[in-house]
Amino acid sequence: MSSKDVQAIEQANASGRAPIVFVHGLWLLAGSWTPWAAHAEAAGYAPVPLTWPDEPETVREARAKPEVFARKSVGAVADHLAELIGRLERRPALVGHNFGGVLVQILAGRGLSAATVAIGPEPFRGVLTLPLSSLRASMPVLGSPFNRRRAVPLTFPQFRYAFANAVSEEEARELYDTFAVPASGVPLFQQAGANLNPRTDLRVDTRNPDRGPLLILAGEKDTSIPWALAHAAHRRQKRNAGVTEITEMPGRGHSLVIDSGWKDVADAALAFVRRHVPAGPAGPAETGP
């Protein structure tokens, strides 16, 4: 558990405000949520950007020590996040992107979320669609079986295709230089075999009545998680009796949470959270994760 995690949780508990937990995915750090955290705080919420196990604090440190990312599985990260969320005195809203988007769905399926926003979420077991663009975006990892045990960085052309295809070349380069870090190869290999492995970490309890409201946000031009994948996840989640919605963000790619249009996405996420989770003091049904 990082000191930043502890500090964010303690501040959220002391504030009495509804917490919003932010969960990043592969090739980014928790610091990528900094503008979102400030935006959520201004809206009256207590932001809690959480780290993955052993995550470095800075991009420079992450690039200097890529080995810390190796061998991190979806299950280990989900359990780590669940433990941290358990320290919150109020059930949080969850917002996640990329593999963070599937992690927040896993956690919501465990009944840990008051409302969930999954942004460009990686697919879970039962989502059978496999667009060619998604396969191409994952090839920097899946292209070699040895990458399962490694931390894998993206080259700029790979990042440009998988994340930043919907922004200018100049902005894509700035995003790469500012945010991109190596990532564990394990989650993508787990994902590749998820529909063949009934015990996979990538299982989501879509029927849990305590799942809470869920919104999936998809970028229109996302090559990593195109509409077909997001829509397939939505169809599975619609089995739940709770509120389940999907929204397409026009003209946006997979970098939609970090690029110059991030605020439009944050506003859409906050509008959904606000409908279901008041920012002020908790009522009796809202306490406890």
Number of other residues whose CB lies within 10 A of the CB of residue 8: 24
Residue 240 has pLDDT above 70, yes or no: yes
**Residues paired with residue 289 on neighbouring β-strands, in sequence order:** none
Segment 254-279 mean pLDDT: 97
Secondary structure, 3-state, 178-209? HHCCCEECHHHHHHHCHHHCCCCCCCCCCCCC
- The residue whose two tokens read 């899946």 is 142
Give the C-alpha separation, 203 to 103, whole Å: 10
Residue 3 has pLDDT above 90, yes or no: no
Residue 288 has pLDDT above 60, yes or no: no
Per-residue model confidence as pLDDT tens digits over 50-105: 999 999 999 999 999 999 999 999 999 999 999 999 999 999 999 999 999 999 99
Whole-structure pTM value? 0.95
Q: What is the per-residue pLDDT for 281? A: 74
Q: What is the per-residue pLDDT for 289? A: 55
Residue 151 has pLDDT above 60, yes or no: yes
Segment 195-208 mean pLDDT: 96
Give the C-alpha separation, 104 to 135, whole Å: 23
Spell out the residues 6+ positions from residue 37 whose beta carbon is closer than 8 angstroms to its own: 22, 47, 49
Residue type, 76: A
Residue 282 has pLDDT above 90, yes or no: no
Q: Which CATH number describes the domain made up of 3-277?
A: 3.40.50.1820
Reading the block at residue 14, the tokens are 């002391």
How many percent of the chain have pLDDT more than 70?
Answer: 97
Q: How many residues does the chain have?
A: 289
Confirm if 28 and 258 have CB atoms less than 8 A apart: yes
H/E stretch holding 156 reads helix 156-162
Confirm if 265 and 119 have CB atoms less than 8 A apart: yes
Average pLDDT, the chain: 95
Q: What is the per-residue pLDDT for 287? A: 55
How many percent of the chain have pLDDT more than 90?
Answer: 94
Confirm if 36 and 50 have CB atoms less than 8 A apart: no
Confirm if 220 and 120 have CB atoms less than 8 A apart: no
Name the residue ranges covered by the structural domains of the chain.
3-277
CB neighbour class for 156 (10 Å; exposed up to 12, middle 13-18, buried from 19): middle
Per-residue model confidence as pLDDT tens digits over 7-62: 999 999 999 999 999 999 999 999 999 999 999 999 999 999 999 999 999 999 99
Residue 188 has pLDDT above 80, yes or no: yes
